[in-house]
Amino acid sequence: MLDEVEGWLRRRSWSAADRPLRTLCAAKEAAGAAGTISVVLPALDEESTVGGIVSVIRRELMERVPLVDELVVLDSGSGDRTAEVAAAAGARVVHRDAILPRVPSVPGKGEVLWRSLLVTSGEIVCFVDADLREFSADFVSGIVGPLLTDPDLQLVKAMYDRPLETEGAVVPAGGGRVTELVARPLLNLHWPQLAGFVQPLGGEYAARRSLLERLHFPTGYGVELGLLVDALGEAGLDALAQVDVGVRHHRHQDGQALGRMAATIYRTALERLVRTGRLKGEDDLVRPLLTQFSRTAAERPGQGGGFAPHTHAVPALERPPMTSVPEYRARRAA
C-alpha cells in the first residue's frame, strides 16, 4: 500500500461513534445552508425493504433529531408497490420519468442518482440503497457526520462487514463479490491512491453537492466506481474519507447478474483510463457485449450440447455533470 494511503487511512478513517448525534446537530446548526442534508434512496422493486429504511430515517434523523432535511425515494421504474410503500413510510417519491423529461430516462442505478440532484436541494447529498435489511440510522449519520464537522472533506463512504446471506446460509465477509473480484483489483492496479477504501462499491455514501454536480454519472452499476475515481481526480485523496457503520445486510443478486455488473464496472474503468490518456481509444474495447450461458431444458447432442448462450449489452452511457444542465442551473439560481 502506498505510504500516502497508509497516512490517509490514519487520518481519514473513522467509526460512526466518533461523532455523536449531538455533535452533528450542533455542527449542522453552525454550518447553516452548507449543512442541509438530502437523503436519496434509489429504488427498483424494493417494496419489501424500502419502507423500513424510510421509517428509521424519518423517526431517528428527522423527528427525534432534525439532522436530515429531506428524504426522497427515486423510483427507478419499479413494477411493484415500492412507491406506495415508500410514501406511506414518509418519503417523497419521485419517478425517474418525471425528472428532466426532455432527456428520456434509461434503466440503471446511476441514472436515478444523477436525476436525484435535480429534485433535491441539500448541500450534502447522501445515497442509501433501498434493499438494506436491519438498517441503522448510523448508516446515514455516520457518513454525513464528517461532512458537517470537516469543511475540507467532499465525499465520505460507509464501510462495513458484508456477510453473504442466501437461503439458510451465511458466509461472513462473503458479500461484496464484485468488489473483491473486480473493483478492488482494478483500483489497486490503476488508482492505488484509492486502495484504502474498504468498500469502494458500497451504495451508502455522502458528498457535497458542489462536488457531485461537477461529476459525470455512469447510468448503470458503474456509478460507484466512476464517482469515486472522478472524485479523486476532482478533489484529491484527502477530501475523501470513510466511516465504519457496522454490518450491511442486503439482498444479493445471483452470479450472472453480478457478472453483468462486473462487465459494466470494468467498462467504466476502461473509459476513465482512455479519458486520462492511459489507454488508447475505444479500439481497446473489442465488443461491448457479454455472453453468458444457461442449461437448456434437454441436452441436444450434436447441437452445441446442453447449454444456451445469452448475450447482453454492456452499457457505458454516462450523464454529464449537472452543472451543464440548464434546468439544473436555473433551479439552483432560483
Ligand X SMILES: O=C(O)[C@@H](COP(=O)(O)O)O[C@H]1O[C@H](CO)[C@@H](O)[C@H](O)[C@H]1O
Ligand Y SMILES: O=c1ccn([C@@H]2O[C@H](COP(=O)(O)OP(=O)(O)O)[C@@H](O)[C@H]2O)c(=O)[nH]1
Say if residues 5 and 92 touch (Cβ distance below 8 Å).
no
| DSSP label at residue 62 | I
Name the residue nearer to ligand X (CB basis): 146 or 175.
175
Helix (H, G, I), strand (E, B) or coil at 51: helix
255 binds ligand Y per the rule CB under 6 A: no
Cell numbers found for residue 223: 456509478
176 interface partner picked from ligand X, ligand Y, none, CB below 5 to 8 A per type: ligand X
230 interface partner picked from ligand X, ligand Y, none, CB below 5 to 8 A per type: none
Segment 213-232, which members bind ligand X (CB under 6 A)?
A: 221, 224
89 interface partner picked from ligand X, ligand Y, none, CB below 5 to 8 A per type: none
Q: How far is the CB of 261 from ligand Y (least distance, A)?
A: 6
- Could you tell me the end-to-end alpha-carbon distance of the chain, in angstroms, rounded to an integer? 46
256 binds ligand X per the rule CB under 6 A: no
162 interface partner picked from ligand Y, ligand X, none, CB below 5 to 8 A per type: ligand X
State the number of binding residues for ligand X (CB under 6 A).
Answer: 18
Strands 37-43 and 124-127: parallel
175 binds ligand X per the rule CB under 6 A: yes
CA-to-CA separations, 169 to 8, 164, 166, 172, 220, in angstroms, rounded = 36, 8, 5, 10, 29
Non-local CB neighbours of 275 within 8 Å, separated by 6+ positions: none
- How far is it, in rounded angstroms, from Cα 196 to Cα 140? 21
Site for ligand X, rule CB under 6 A = 109, 129, 162, 164, 175-179, 201-203, 221, 224, 252-253, 258, 261
Site for ligand Y, rule CB under 6 A = 42-44, 46, 76, 107-109, 112, 129-131, 203, 250-251, 253
